[in-house]
Amino acid sequence: MGDHHHGPAKGLSRWLFATNHKDIGTMYLWFSFAMFLVGGAFAMIIRAELFQPGMQLIRPEFFNQMTTMHGLIMVFGAIMPAFVGLANWMIPMMIGAPDMALPRMNNWSFWILPPAFLLLLATMFMPGGGPAFGWTFYAPLSTTYAPPSVTFFIFGVHILGLSSIMGSINIVATVMNLRAPGMTYMKMPLFVWTWFITAYLLIAVMPVLAGAVTMMLMDIHFGTSFFSAAGGGDPVLFQHVFWFFGHPEVYIIILPAFGVVSQIIPAFARKPLFGYDSMVYATASIAFLSFIVWAHHMYTVGMPIAGELFFMYATMLIAVPTGVKVFNWITTMWRGAMTFETPMLFCIGFVVLFTIGGFTGLMLSIAPSDFQYHDSYFVVAHFHYVMVAGAVFSMTAAVYYWLPKWCGKMYNETMGKTHFWISFIGFNVTFFPQHFVGLAGMPRRIPDYALQFADFNMISSIGAFIYGASQLLFLYNVIATIVGGKPVSDEKVWEGAEGLEWTVPTPAPFHTFSTPPQVR
Partner 1 sequence: MRPFGDNPVALTVAKMAAVVVLMFSFVFVVMVPLYNVLCDALGINGKTSGVAYEAATIQVDESREITIQFIATNSDGMPWEFRPSQTMMKVNPGAVNDTVFLARNPLERDMVAQAIPSVSPARAAEYFHKTECFCFNNQPLDGLQSTEMPLQFIVDQDLPRDIRTITLSYTMFDITEMASDAIASR
Distance CA 289, CA 481 (A): 41
Q: Which of the stretches 39-47, 171-179, 428-436, 459-467 binds partner 1 when contact is defined by CB under 8 A?
A: 171-179
- The phi and psi torsions of 410 (rounded to 5 degrees) equal -90, 135
Q: Which is nearer to partner 1, 164 or 461 (CB)?
A: 164
Of 15, 30, 111, 135, catalytic: 135
Q: Which of the stretches 131-139, 219-227, 268-276, 384-392 binds partner 1 when contact is defined by CB under 8 A?
A: 219-227
Least Å from the CB of residue 241 to partner 1:
6
- Return the closest-CA partner of residue 254 out of 124, 370, 379, 350: 350
Specify whether 405 is catalytic: no
Task: Tell how many helices (H) and how many strands (E) occur in the chain.
Answer: 18, 2
Least Å from the CB of residue 215 to partner 1:
8
165 binds partner 1, rule: CB under 8 A: yes
Three-state DSSP at 368 gives: helix
Specify whether 163 is catalytic: yes
Distance CA 280, CA 274 (A): 12
Among 18, 50, 210, 345, binds partner 1 (CB under 8 A): 210
Contact assessment for residue 21 and residue 514, using Cβ atoms and an 8 Å cutoff: no
Residues in the chain, total: 520
Three-state DSSP at 213 gives: helix
What character string, x for contact with partner 1 (CB under 8 A) and - otherwise, covers 285-304? ----------------xxxx
Specify whether 498 is catalytic: no
Specify whether 10 is catalytic: no
Least Å from the CB of residue 195 to partner 1:
14
Q: Which is nearer to partner 1, 236 or 317 (CB)?
A: 236
Distance CA 348, CA 329 (A): 9
2 binds partner 1, rule: CB under 8 A: yes
Of 179, 247, 409, 435, catalytic: 247
Distance CA 334, CA 266 (A): 11
Contact assessment for residue 85 and residue 28, using Cβ atoms and an 8 Å cutoff: yes
Specify whether 419 is catalytic: no
Among 124, 241, 442, 464, binds partner 1 (CB under 8 A): 241
Q: Which residues contact 282 (CB under 8 A, 6 or more apart)?
A: 321, 322, 324, 325, 328
Indicate if the alpha-carbon torsion angle 129, 134, 136, 139 is positive or negative: negative
Q: Which is nearer to partner 1, 55 or 309 (CB)?
A: 309
Q: What angle do CA 274, 255, 463 make, to 5 degrees?
A: 100
Least Å from the CB of residue 307 to partner 1:
8
169 binds partner 1, rule: CB under 8 A: yes
Among 168, 198, 376, 430, binds partner 1 (CB under 8 A): 168
Q: Which residues contact 366 (CB under 8 A, 6 or more apart)?
A: 312
Q: Which residues are the active-site residues? A: 70, 99, 135, 163-164, 247, 249, 251, 262, 296-297, 322, 325, 444
Please report, as ranges, the residues that interact with partner 1 according to CB under 8 A.
1-3, 98, 101-102, 144-145, 165, 168-169, 172-173, 176-178, 203-208, 210-212, 215, 223, 225-226, 229-232, 234, 236-237, 240-241, 244, 301-304, 307, 516
